[in-house]
Amino acid sequence: FSLGGLGSGFANNEEELKALAHQALSHSDQLIIDKSLKGWKEVEYEVVRDAFDNCITVCNMENVDPLGIHTGESIVVAPSQTLSNREYYMLRNTAIKVIRHFGIVGECNIQYALNPNSEEFYIIEVNARLSRSSALASKATGYPLAYVAAKLALGVPLPTIKNSVTGVTTACFEPSLDYCVV
C-alpha cells in the first residue's frame, strides 16, 4: 500500500525502472509494476441504479489533460468533447454493466483510460459513492445526485423520484446537454 503514490513514478527504460524499484523498496517490501497509460484520455461516467435494476448515466466528463497529469490538477469538461459516438456508447454501456455487475444501488463514478489511437480502454477506478466528480456532474446537468442517491438508499425506485431541480422530470430521465461545462 502506498499513500499518495509514495515511491511511485514512470520508468522509460531499464535504468529508470531499477532506480524507481530501489526507491520504492526502501519504503516497503512490495513492488507493483503496471503498464503505463500515460498520454491516454481520462474519461468518467456518473451512473445511478436502483434496487429494481433501473439504471441511467447522468453525465460523462473528460479531463482536458491526458493520464499522467493528476486529475486534481486538470481541467474537466462535461460532456466529453473528443469521444466519437462509438467510444461514448462503448464506455456508457460498460459503465452500466459495471454498476449492475457489482450490484451497486445508488450513485457510482467510473473512470476510464482510453487509448487515443484505438478503442482500447481500461477501467482505472470505480467509486460507489458521491465524489468531487459527482458534485460537478450534478451542477453541470441539473440532476440532484445526492438527493437521488439518498432516495435510492431508502429503496425508492428511480421512476418514482421527482427531480427536485426541474420539478417535472423523474430521476430516470437521462440528462442531455446542449452546452459545455468547464
**Residue-level pLDDT at 167:** 85
Which grid cell sits at 178?
Answer: 446542449
**Residue-level pLDDT at 178:** 92
**Residue-level pLDDT at 68:** 82
**Residue-level pLDDT at 5:** 62
Cα–Cα dist 8/32, whole Å: 9
Cα–Cα dist 157/16, whole Å: 53
**Residue-level pLDDT at 107:** 97
Task: Quickly list DSSP for 7-37.
Answer: T----SSHHHHHHHHHHHHTT-S--------
Largest CA distance in the chain: 61
**Residue-level pLDDT at 73:** 83
pLDDT per residue rounded down to tens, the chain (182 residues) = 455 566 678 899 999 999 999 988 888 888 888 888 999 999 999 999 999 999 999 999 999 999 988 877 889 999 999 999 999 999 999 999 999 999 999 999 999 999 999 999 999 999 999 988 999 999 999 999 999 999 999 999 999 999 888 888 899 999 999 999 99
Structural domains for the chain: 1-34 (no CATH), 41-160 (3.30.470.20)
Instruction: Give, rounded to a whole angstrom, the gap between the first and last alpha carbons of the chain.
Output: 33
Label residue 75 exposed, middle or buried (CB < 10 Å: 0-12, 13-18, 19+). Answer: exposed
**Residue-level pLDDT at 105:** 98
**Residue-level pLDDT at 127:** 95
Q: For residue 58, which of 74, 42, 73, 47 has the smallest C-alpha distance?
A: 47
**Residue-level pLDDT at 69:** 82
Q: For residue 25, which of 2, 44, 48, 57 has the smallest C-alpha distance?
A: 2
